[in-house]
């Protein structure tokens, strides 16, 4: 079996040097963090030349918190009929988008729960109306799990749901709901969420329709490093398939540790004194660096400031990440599980990038550059 020094040396010699799940797991477990980050940065500059680090002005909108999936690590959802359940109206959602437009934003990331009370026409009417009212805003909405739930309620196939949504104005699909695409782990944390193949199938269908997609990974459920790499392998394999078919594929890969403070998963873990849950800064940086080396067919690796804080997110920019995410403006799902900072101003993100030795660049959801040095100084108000 190869040692971590030999694997990193091979990664330096050729780009993109193929790396197996087994080799990546060795790097994850054994490699010197400094050496791993150095090689990841070399790979980053091969894939994304130059010194730019990008970010996005967007808003997260959680249109409903009604959900029947009941993930153990989620503190956001409410069951149908719960006194704290809600579903926003089109006007309420539109008002939030108007606030984003006034700040120069370009995308909403709209996700909710799997809400069986909403008919199919509610979604198509929402997308059509928002497209008319806000033509300059990209509508990246509904995770694959939501698409599956909508398909079940409507009787349509997931491909038909996606096709009709695209025709109504849908621009892309968020990468939510992936968590761990390893069924032995997935079934323990989200038993109602369906197999990893379901998530991959919906994403593949979205890409076949030209929809913009991203890939995500939540880790720290007690899984092994090898299982984390199995997750990445499924993402990488779908990316190969989509690109070879002429589809757009995933724009980016974003990962973060599970938040444990306020959810059932964390409470059960503490009660049972389970070890190895969640992940600290060093493990997160290893995860980012290994993902950069492993995802040779996905150009953009994003650092996660909402879960790790801006300081760690800055360090991740030297571990292979080339994007620092978005202003978000509003966030309800991750914050419900324990994170305290749920929005960042443009100036905060710019300063974080500059202080890390990089040049900030404003982008849209497709990673088209919108502005380099002349980003308007705006503070996002709560």
pLDDT tens track for 306-352: 999 999 999 999 999 999 999 987 645 544 444 555 689 999 999 99
What pLDDT is stored for residue 31 in this prediction?
98
What pLDDT is stored for residue 16 in this prediction?
81
Q: How far apart are CA 14 and CA 27, in angstroms?
A: 17
Given pLDDT bands bounded at 50, 70 and 90, which one contains residue 67?
confident
DSSP string over 176-245: TT-S---HHHHHHH-TTS--HHHHHHHHHHHHHTT-EEEEEEEE-BS--HHHHHHHHHHHHHHHHHHHHT
What pLDDT is stored for residue 14 in this prediction?
85
Residue 72 has pLDDT above 60, yes or no: no
Query: Which structural domains are found in the chain, ordered by start?
Result: 4-371 (3.20.20.70)
What pLDDT is stored for residue 368 in this prediction?
97
Given pLDDT bands bounded at 50, 70 and 90, which one contains residue 70?
low
CA-wise closest residue to 359 among 371, 344, 376, 341? 371
Residue 39 has pLDDT above 80, yes or no: yes
What pLDDT is stored for residue 329 in this prediction?
79
- Look at 295 and 63; give whichever has higher pLDDT: 295
- Look at 218 and 375; give whichever has higher pLDDT: 218
pLDDT tens track for 97-143: 999 999 999 999 999 877 888 899 999 999 999 999 999 999 999 99
Place of tokens 């730019």: 52
Residue 374 has pLDDT above 60, yes or no: no
The average pLDDT across 78-99 equals 85
Strands 52-56 and 359-363: parallel
Residue 160 has pLDDT above 60, yes or no: yes
What pLDDT is stored for residue 373 in this prediction?
52
What pLDDT is stored for residue 117 in this prediction?
84
Report the Cα–Cα distance between both ends of the chain, in Å, rounded: 53
What percent of the chain shows pLDDT beyond 70? 85
What is the maximal distance between C-alpha atoms in the chain?
60
What pLDDT is stored for residue 263 in this prediction?
45
Dihedral sign for Cα 181, 186, 190, 192, please: positive
Q: How far apart are CA 212 and CA 194, in angstroms?
A: 22
Residue 378 has pLDDT above 70, yes or no: no
Residue 379 has pLDDT above 50, yes or no: no
Residue 69 has pLDDT above 70, yes or no: no
What pLDDT is stored for residue 189 in this prediction?
83
pLDDT tens track for 254-271: 999 998 654 444 444 444
Q: How far apart are CA 204 and CA 169, in angstroms?
A: 19
What percent of the chain shows pLDDT beyond 90? 73
């Amino acid at each position: 079996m190869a040692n971590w020094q030999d694997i990193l040396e091979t990664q330096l010699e050729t780009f993109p040097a193929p790396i197996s799940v087994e080799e990546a797991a060795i790097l994850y477990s054994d490699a010197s963090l400094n050496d791993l980050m150095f090689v990841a940065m070399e790979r980053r500059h091969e894939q994304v030349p130059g010194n730019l680090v990008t970010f996005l002005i967007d808003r997260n909108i959680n249109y409903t918190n009604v959900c029947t999936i009941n993930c153990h690590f989620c503190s956001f959802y409410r069951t149908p009929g719960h006194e704290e359940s809600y579903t926003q109206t089109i006007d309420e959602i539109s008002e939030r988008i108007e606030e984003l437009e006034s700040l120069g934003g370009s995308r909403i990331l709209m996700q909710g729960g799997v809400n069986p009370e909403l008919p199919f026409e509610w979604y198509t009417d929402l997308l059509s109306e928002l497209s008319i009212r806000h033509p300059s805003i990209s509508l990246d909405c509904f995770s694959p799990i939501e698409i599956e739930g909508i398909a079940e309620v409507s009787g349509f196939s997931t491909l038909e749901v996606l096709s009709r949504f695209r025709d109504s104005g849908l621009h892309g699909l968020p990468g939510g709901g992936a968590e761990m695409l390893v069924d032995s782990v997935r079934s323990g944390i989200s038993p109602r969420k369906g197999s990893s193949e379901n998530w991959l199938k919906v994403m593949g269908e979205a890409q076949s329709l030209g929809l913009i997609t991203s890939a995500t990974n939540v880790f720290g459920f007690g899984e092994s490093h090898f299982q984390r790499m199995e997750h990445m392998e499924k993402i990488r394999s779908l990316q190969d398939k989509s690109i070879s078919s002429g589809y757009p594929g995933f724009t980016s890969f974003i990962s973060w540790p599970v938040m444990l403070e306020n959810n059932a998963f964390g409470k059960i873990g503490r009660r049972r004194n389970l070890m190895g849950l969640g992940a600290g800064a060093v493990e997160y940086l290893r995860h980012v660096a290994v993902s950069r080396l492993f995802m040779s067919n996905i150009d953009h690796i994003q650092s996660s400031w909402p879960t790790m804080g801006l300081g760690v997110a800055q360090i991740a920019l030297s571990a292979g990440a080339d994007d620092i995410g978005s202003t978000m403006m509003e966030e309800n799902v991750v914050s419900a599980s324990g994170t305290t900072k749920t929005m960042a101003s443009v100036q905060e993100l710019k300063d974080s990038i500059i202080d890390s030795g990089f040049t900030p660049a404003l982008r849209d959801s497709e990673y088209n550059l919108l502005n380099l040095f002349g980003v308007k100084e705006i503070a996002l108000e709560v």
